[in-house]
Copies of this chain bind each other. A is one copy, B any other.
């Protein structure tokens, strides 16, 4: 059986992929893969996703250089979510934070930025 047959893609032919840092164990981001993105991720050893907003395949870090080298790929019990453990270059979030989950609900019930900022997005992506 091909490993792809074990994946339960959703109605949009996508599967959510959680990306976790293999060194720090931080959850870095979640994005969606279609079958081609999964195949390219497995073949190339770097993460590829399907952009729902741009409707195209993208390689994480292609423009920023902040690549994610794949170390482990895990599948959950019902086959509808992937967990990809990676070695992250730079930072995962386009805002400059190391993880996309940089905001935390505080005791006043407000989301507050508590994450680590590791790069200046203007320098990496250019001023907009």
- What is the interface of chain A, defined by CB distance below 8 A to chain B? 1-3, 6, 16, 18, 20, 25-27, 29-30, 42, 72-78, 81, 83, 93-95, 97, 100-105, 109-111
Contact = CB atoms under 8 A, between A and B. Distances in A.
B77 A97 contact: yes
State the majority secondary structure of interface residues on A.
mixed
Assembly stoichiometry (copies): 2
Contact of A104 (B26, B74, B77, B81): B74
Contacts of A81: 30, 100-101
**6 closest cross-chain pairs (CB), A and B:** A25-B25, A74-B101, A76-B100, A73-B105, A83-B101, A77-B100
Given A6-B111, A75-B101, A83-B101, 20 more contacts: A1-B110, A2-B109, A3-B111, A18-B18, A18-B30, A25-B25, A27-B83, A30-B76, A42-B109, A72-B104, A74-B101, A74-B102, A75-B104, A75-B111, A76-B103, A77-B95, A77-B97, A77-B102, A81-B100, A81-B101
